[in-house]
Chain A
Amino acid sequence: MATRSGGAAKKRAEPDDELAAEIKQRAQKYRRAKEGAGGKVRSKKEAAAVGHARRRREEAAEAAARSEVLLTEQAGFLEAEGMERTYKFTQKQIADNVDIGSASRIFDLQLGEFGPYAIDYSGDGRHLLLGGRKGHLATVDWRNARLGCELHVRETVRSVCWLHNQTLFAAAQKKYAYIYDQSGAEVHCLRKHEEPTALGFLRHHFLLASTGMSGRVVYQDVTEGKVVGEHRSGHGPAHVLRVNPYNAVVHVGHGNGTVSLWAPQQSLPLAKLLCHKGPVQAVAVDGVHMATSGLDGRVKVWDVRALGVLHEYRTGRPAQSLDISQRGLLAAGYGPHVTVWKDALATRAGDAYMQRLLPATSVQTLRFAPYEDVLGYGHSGGVSSILVPGAGEPNFDALVANPFQTTRQRQEAEVKLLLDKLPADTIQLDPTFVGRLDPRSHAERQREQLAEGRARYAQDKADGKYRDGAVRNKTKGRNSTAKRYARKRQTNVTDLKKLQTMERMEKELRQAEAAKRPRPAHEKGALAQFYTEKARLDG
């Protein structure tokens, strides 16, 4: 009887099972990185708590997957039929086939006098900031074609960026960086940013990052004005800086073809990648991928977590600017051309998705507008905006970025953002490190450190760094006997210190192990401490 009724029940339950399986599968996106198991949980009570927490996490992921039905908007798309090719569609053709609201997103601003223009969209995509090389600064509510403020600073403007909302923006000018408010009044002159060329804002840390002709990477807290980090890259003038939104790491492109990754509290880069054979022209980052372009005419896509190259594309000329849209479209601007690739990051794309040519201009900066199917770019003749269907995230989270934000909501969001302002030292390559346990024991950590040190030492030795008396020759004028001697001494001193440290660590480790080893009977009991003392002195 059980089987009969069971069969009937099964038949009826099938759609439910399918739905449950689908939810489980969709929930994958919402499952956070696996939390470290951290070994066996000893206490029954704690094991129950851990199990409970795990179930709650799974439930939360499934609830999030189920809540997807509440997302009302569908992403845009552009599909070719028959012999058509998407990259052959012109903006006029697209404008004829979309609604009038979308068609009005296509425009060209003729601003030939003060170009080329650097641009930036505010976080909710509603406001556009223009910075003409020759000193023209303007903010626009671009969807409604409403000018916010406009001013001429009468000196070179190299880069512009919005701060946390549309009430403040920064401009990298000839000598310093400046902050202006929404009315165009100068609020601050940031003298710590000398000859800045590129700006980036870390929204959750309230840090303004810049790099410039000195090759330094400077971080300044815009809430209290403190410079929280100033690092020398050692690669000379840099012109490229982008912020990775996933972990707030700053990517700086250098003239020698490397891209270095910086955090404000570490004086050395977190990572350095040799990306191109010529100077790096542009960098674009989303959470997982980084696209770089160099004067060698390549556009390369990198996996930022594994720090390896995935694939490369070629552009007719070296790409001057790159950007990655919220839904993973890659755009490159070179000369008068703008090319957009679809599915070009995780996989290698074939043909371009869209292309546009604006004769007699050269692209300076291009940016996808957040939450819109729009790509804006500043060029020598002004600023243009084109439709790229499928670029923007259709469903915004109103508490993250709200394109329809009211003034009160903006004020409230500002307060919330300030309350949640993250300290500068929370920036790491892996942003999930916060609140994690290091499951290794102290001894294990030390052992690993030691092994690492030894390996490095061996590598250096093999490279001839410590070759006695074999200090390599330098260029003429820098090779005096005294300097050679100093160099030799320097390496030896470094060597000695390193060896001493390693020796000390080794000794400590030996002692820790000796303390753990089972003691013979005569060393136990009340007199044991004398043996411990002896062991310490011996060790």
Chain B
Amino acid sequence: MSAVIENHHDDHDHGPAKGITRWLYTTNHKDIGTLYLWFSFAMFLIGGAMAMIIRAELFQPGMQIVEPEFYNQMITLHGLIMIFGGVMPAFVGLANWLVPMMIGAPDMALPRMNNLSFWILPFAFFILLSSLFMEGGAPNFGWTFYAPLSTTYAPPSVTFFIFSVHIMGASSIMGAINVVVTIMNMRAPGVTLMKMPLFVWSWLITAYLLIAVMPVLAGAVTMMLMDIHFGTSFFNAAGGGDPVLFQHIFWFFGHPEVYIMILPAFGIVSHIIETFSRKQLFGYSSMVWAMLSIAILSFVVWAHHMFTVGLPLAAEIFFMWATMLIAVPTGVKVFNWVATMFRGSLTFETPMLFAVAFVVLFTIGGLSGLMLAIVPADFQYHDTYFVVAHFHYVLVPGAIFSIMAAVYYWIPKWSGNMYDERLGKLHFWLSFIGVNVTFFPQHFIGLAGMPRRYPDYALIFADWNMVSSIGAFLFGFSQLLFLFIVIKTVMGGKKATDQVWEGAKGLEWTVASPAPYHTFSTPPKVD
């Protein structure tokens, strides 16, 4: 996409307000994007600290550091915080920063709602985290909060958990509505749907998924609330309900949620690989169609999370094949990325390193997912560390690597400064080694039969658990280096050019670095 920019200088143009009110009252998409990104970074560190506690406990067999009850609270909060506080707000932050600049819009379509959707999030997580200090402790039923563990047997703090999930859901829904309205109505003339950058496409699809499934999650927690406090029996067999119903409703939300956390990553990686290959992206339209088919298929595969509840054979076969079908569009994407790099003029700056690692490691996670889709095999893998290894491979070197890649790739545009390339590369290699040392051995202990969600394990799993914990500490503490690099870049550094990267294409690279407070007040011309 090429664009001609006219440099209008508007004398009435005003910068941001001063002090804290800038952040409290802001309706500027760049400010809100920054808020989201810092918030998700804070949550990433909190959720990461919980992961460190988990891995410290699992360093050796036997109970060493924490009580089993507290361990359960840690695994629950780690999952909830990383998903709803880490990955999702990071992607919303990136959408806020990038979507308007990529389509040549002056801001998001609903700036005030944008402010609201961010500012309710800290309250949601304050409520969730405060449950740690309540009588009976924080939620301890795992992030999937299966009934009746989360209803009949839940600690009293479950009501606060339900309320915080409602708030997170409201925030995500508002964010998603904002993205859709912006993309559908505020594209600069000439930016047709099939000319949109892939990150914009990926977010358009993600936003529709969010609008479709977050209300279902809200419904599920509302039913829990009614079962706990108002005497209904949605999930209580004694009163005519069914606990398996909870799993059906939860995974109807839960599976599209998985793609909510990976589709924007697909968009990011496509941009980065295109730039550092100095070639046009291979198969743009097939990328769009692949994302659309993944999104549609995500609604008909939910029961593959519950193969062992006693589904009838016909259902098991249907969900097995539907799940395997998703490998086809995903494979199209992976091959397109490889084809883009093929005979490209490649350089490996930090964003590209993360993006290439994404392609390789996400594919490993995808393939173990394919193994889990096989019904007879899943009866062995179900609820073992193999599952833990699988979804951490798609979420850590998948979603989180893509977010880190995006930060390195766009931070020169956001801050006006280049990050320290040497430190960036160091951060990449520490993370890359750390992530693999952590999660690869979990495949082995999972196949050997170690169940997930226990604070203790049999002696035969001791060696690989120790390796996994060492990797986790390496990965965890390297993220402090990432924090340092980001702060250092924001504070100063080599000035970035407007285009920043030699091969970078797209409207966001046509504005000054750092991006002015207001961009594209008059729409750019796009051929």
Q: Do A and B bind each other?
A: no
Interface residues of chain B, those whose CB is within 8 Å of chain A, are none
Residues of A with Cβ closer than 8 Å to B?
A: none
